[in-house]
A and B are shown apart, each in its own frame.
Chain A
């Protein structure tokens, strides 16, 4: 069975601090995708990144970076120099990617990030 665990329910930081959001996943599939989404207070789900299971290279996009480690089944997300606008709930998600898969997303329970001025 597939499962995504985000152990941090809430994190509070002061603006300009770096913060890392943890994500641990379980799957028996050898081919899968990992995602991060941002849900701001307005409620929409904003796509941030997709990684496939064959690509363990870390990725950086501006102040955002992602660390994918297959050995520990983790896909952690770091925000550098956090800003108040980063305050949101962040969801990690997993989808299988085998042939005949529906590619449905299994979400973690989310981490609420509060960035204080």
Chain B
């Protein structure tokens, strides 16, 4: 069964460094998303991406964040200059033609 994949599973970085989180959505899905979950809290929407452009973004998704679909399969989230408060689990998701949203296993980002 197709699934959303994410790499790396865990990323440790120093404050101020750039990180790129990678995702491969399910191939016939059209909408892609990034969400984050700070430890012990609820899952929060960051950004949605459709037809090679951002379709919606939240207040969290400020100028430090960017997304790209550099080729036909990868979907990336870049954080330009990480802060301590960016430490969280980042989930990629994609939506099926039946509007079911499937999540990847997540990347745990730790900023020190």
Contacts and interface: CB of A to CB of B under 8 A. Distances in A.
Give the secondary structure class of B's interface.
Answer: strand
A33 B99 contact: yes
Contacts of B95: 103
Interface residues of A, number: 22
B32 to A, nearest CB: 10
B43 A104 contact: no
Contact of B55 (A93, A102, A105): A102
Contact of A104 (B33, B91, B102, B108): B33
A60 to B, nearest CB: 18
A52 to B, nearest CB: 8
Contact of A97 (B31, B44, B50, B99): B99
A25 interface: no
A47 B101 contact: yes
Q: 6 closest Cβ contacts across the A-B interface? A: A102-B56, A102-B48, A45-B103, A107-B43, A102-B55, A104-B45
Interface of A: 33, 35, 37, 43-45, 47, 50, 52, 91, 93, 95, 97, 102-110
